[in-house]
Structure 1
Amino acid sequence: MSPRPAPVFPDWPQFDDTERRALDRALSQGQWWRMGGTEVETFEQEFADHHGAPHALAVTNGTHALELALQAMGAGPGTEVIVPGFTFISSSQAAQRIGAVAVPVDVDPDTYNIDVAAVAAAITPRTRVIMPVHMAGLMADMDALDKVAADAGVQVLQDAAHAHGARWQGKRVGELGSVAAFSFQNGKLMTAGEGGAVLFPDEERYEQAFLRHSCGRPRTDRRYHHQVAGTNMRMNEFSAAVLRAQLTRLDAQIAVREQRWRHLSALLARIPGVRPQGDDPRADRNPHYMAMFRLPAWSEERRNLLVDRLVEAGIPAFAAFRAIYRTAAFWETGAPDETVDAVAERCPNVDAISQDCVWLHHRTLLASEQDLTDTAAIVAELVAAV
């Protein structure tokens, strides 16, 4: 363990009287679900406006947001959804849960985002959706992905669970013309403990998703005329009230994290054997959901030991996502007709990153520059010692 004193990091989630007043406002209106209250609808409008989208639909969590979006885009039995092999498993499970096959592809070794050439090679007549994940807030190559999708006649679903407030060449997530799904789980950049949202560029898919997220029942129905198969994914009024408060802080927090990442990544890059997550200048606003770095050629065991030592030293560190195809859950249903080894062979970067990557909670990037200088010094000491 490092003998240095632990840096001081802000708590997460962050809240103050803004959330308290919001909860009281939701409580006092006397209607606590979206069909009778105003908080969910108001949050949807505010979130859509903030991201430049015509429509937003708030739902119960980020995994449901992906499931609902995929259904609205026509994914399901007999179709395939291309996903990065390096991501949280909700990206693949959302497709598998609705009967589609999730097809993992490789990622870029520097940005950790989905590899466009690998996407193009994986497209088949059954492909319905390409799902890039904006890893740690760094937007994937949306120009190239949109072209591949257009040429193949398939759709793009942005998994933006890490990318609240992100921009690609000056365009916000909702201005890119594709569906996007967000998460408000406890660790996310804005949170109500759980929650999710889907941005839609068109009214038709938004209305279809609304029906499916509310048991297939139209807004004004009083006679139980359920029009489509659906389930209950409705967000409650209290969560929406908290998220309205959280949204007011997002821009200021992103500004701090962008500045602090420049400082921390420069220090990490000086440590022998450490390679911070790369950048793409076209992704001109990165909210930095995680501070990520690789230790190329390290074993998984050594990486895990480093994470344990960092935690002991007071750094909120985590091992990177396991390759989705190296989990038992991935193969339970909706997996491609391949072996683990066959998938791994075409995903060498996924295997490497899953083994040697470390990430730090985004609250580290809300700390002072001095605390981040101390953080980098601890990382350097422990990398040399482990």
Structure 2
Amino acid sequence: MTDKTLDLDFPAWPQFGQDERDGLIRALEQGQWWRVAGREVDDFEREFAEFHGAPYALAVTTGTHALELALQVLGVEPGAEVIVPAFTFISSSQAAQRLGAVAVPVDVDAGTYCIDPAAVEAAITARTAAIMPVHMAGQLCDMDALGKLSTASGVPLLQDAAHAHGARWRGQGVAALGSPAAFSFQNGKLMTAGEGGAVTFPDADQYEMAFLRHSCGRPRTDRTYRHQTSGSNFRMNEFSASVLRAQLARLDSQIDTREQRWPLLAGLLAGIPGVVPQATDDRCTRNPHYMAMFRLPGVTEQRRNQVVDALIARGLPAFAAFRAIYRTNAFWETGAPDESVDAIAGRCPNSEALSTDCVWLHHRTLLGSEQQMHAIAEVVSDVLATS
């Protein structure tokens, strides 16, 4: 039940209006509902690429497919290794594992929750085919250190930017940093059509190969079924693209609001004994804040889950943070490294702790008023003191 003394009536998500309605009618009335014959996907890709500073963008069916497709374009083959953060949503590792590659989890920074470049460097072997930094909750990874490491090792980066629509590093768009970036448009994401994804590419060759693979290996103008590569049908439909064009137009102003609210909320949370908000890196000059994350260092997983339940009961859209990927059954089904859970956990102490003590709030809370940021902090403080 919502606390009756506090305003916890946050904006709904997803948000939509006349622009989305107009887009759906426009897609309907053009009479062609798939990307090869329609215009909406093409227009969305051009607008999305421009917004993120990329020469090319390819719209696909899901964010997971975006990662899988990009890994294929980078040449990841069965038996190769892909370095991933241990603290992330399982799609990061599964995209590699579904290609027959081995996902190698490494630890993250205890403050930003982003992949630790030193841990990445220690994990590189002769079999490493890609490094996948995940921009956790919109906080960009250390792209300076990772870029240098990629150049020195010759191992390409694939940015998992599922949380990072509109993010900037030293003033540059996340897709302008010289490596492919994969985005998700799942229902909870910062812009959404219920499902969907996109990959941005820095050069034409990568984009053209991705286009072939996302369309069953078939060139755009093929009329005689001359499939040039293996692939699958990862094509986005015209209706989803029409909605995403409207969502993209909303994104910048929503980020402005979240950028204003997070420093206030983070400061209030930091003033509560036992609460540590996610840290920021000042080189990330625009953080879209996909989640409002904080830690309760020292608590047990059971206690953290009790706190989440209590926050929900008080009207906050709260969630337990991701479980370390190596502590899920899914991770071990295929493409797991030849080491034990305990061995991986031993080199991932920060991921272990985050799996136990981290909480996140839905980004729609950060679209609320300044008064509501105070209300959030009051509820968190009260829950920790009384539950």
Q: TM-score of the superposition, structure 1-length normalised?
A: 0.99
Measured after TM superposition, the shift of residue 290 of structure 1 is 0.2
The amino acid across from 2:91 in the alignment is S
Measured after TM superposition, the shift of residue 78 of structure 1 is 2.2
The amino acid across from 1:175 in the alignment is A
Measured after TM superposition, the shift of residue 3 of structure 1 is 6.7
Q: Distance in 2 between matches of 1:385 and 1:169?
A: 42
> What 5-or-longer segments of structure 2 have no aligned partner?
none
Q: Distance in 2 between matches of 1:16 and 1:346?
A: 48
Q: Distance in 2 between matches of 1:163 and 1:5?
A: 31
Does residue 31 of structure 2 align to residue 30 of structure 1?
A: yes
The amino acid across from 1:174 in the alignment is A
Measured after TM superposition, the shift of residue 5 of structure 1 is 3.8
The amino acid across from 2:284 in the alignment is A
Q: Distance in 1 between matches of 2:383 and 2:5?
A: 11
Corresponding position of 1:211: 212
Measured after TM superposition, the shift of residue 371 of structure 1 is 1.1
Measured after TM superposition, the shift of residue 175 of structure 1 is 1.1
The amino acid across from 1:365 in the alignment is L
Does residue 78 of structure 2 align to residue 68 of structure 1?
A: no
Measured after TM superposition, the shift of residue 385 of structure 1 is 1.8
Q: Once superposed, which parts of structure 1, at least 4 consecutive aligned residues long, lie more than 6 Å away?
A: none
Q: Distance in 1 between matches of 2:205 and 2:16?
A: 36
Corresponding position of 1:81: 82
Q: How does 1:260-271 map to 2 (within 5 A)?
A: 260-271=261-272
Deviations 1:170-214 (A, max 9, x none): 110121000000000000000000000000001111111100100
Q: Distance in 2 between matches of 1:332 and 1:366?
A: 39
Alignment identity in percent? 70
Corresponding position of 2:159: 158
Measured after TM superposition, the shift of residue 169 of structure 1 is 0.5
The amino acid across from 1:155 in the alignment is P
Q: Distance in 2 between matches of 1:314 and 1:103?
A: 38
The residue matched to 1:78 in structure 2 has which SS? coil
Deviations 1:243-275 (A, max 9, x none): 000000100000000100011001000000000
Q: Distance in 2 between matches of 1:286 and 1:12?
A: 19
The residue matched to 2:286 in structure 1 has which SS? coil
> What 5-or-longer segments of structure 1 have no aligned partner?
none
Corresponding position of 1:259: 260
The residue matched to 1:284 in structure 2 has which SS? strand
Count of aligned pairs: 386
Q: Is the 8 A contact 1:81 1:129 kept in 2?
A: yes
The residue matched to 1:182 in structure 2 has which SS? strand
Q: Distance in 2 between matches of 1:174 and 1:261?
A: 23
Q: Distance in 1 between matches of 2:210 and 2:73?
A: 6
Corresponding position of 2:222: 221
The residue matched to 2:158 in structure 1 has which SS? strand
Q: Distance in 2 between matches of 1:53 and 1:341?
A: 41
The residue matched to 1:199 in structure 2 has which SS? strand
Does residue 341 of structure 2 align to residue 340 of structure 1?
A: yes
Measured after TM superposition, the shift of residue 287 of structure 1 is 0.2
Measured after TM superposition, the shift of residue 6 of structure 1 is 5.1
Q: Distance in 2 between matches of 1:372 and 1:263?
A: 7
Does residue 310 of structure 2 align to residue 309 of structure 1?
A: yes
What RMSD, in angstroms, separates the aligned Cα atoms of the two structures?
0.9
Q: How does 1:126-165 map to 2 (within 5 A)?
A: 126-165=127-166
Q: Is the 8 A contact 1:82 1:105 kept in 2?
A: yes
The residue matched to 1:34 in structure 2 has which SS? coil
Does residue 252 of structure 2 align to residue 273 of structure 1?
A: no
The amino acid across from 1:385 in the alignment is T
Q: Distance in 2 between matches of 1:190 and 1:213?
A: 22
Q: Distance in 2 between matches of 1:40 and 1:348?
A: 43
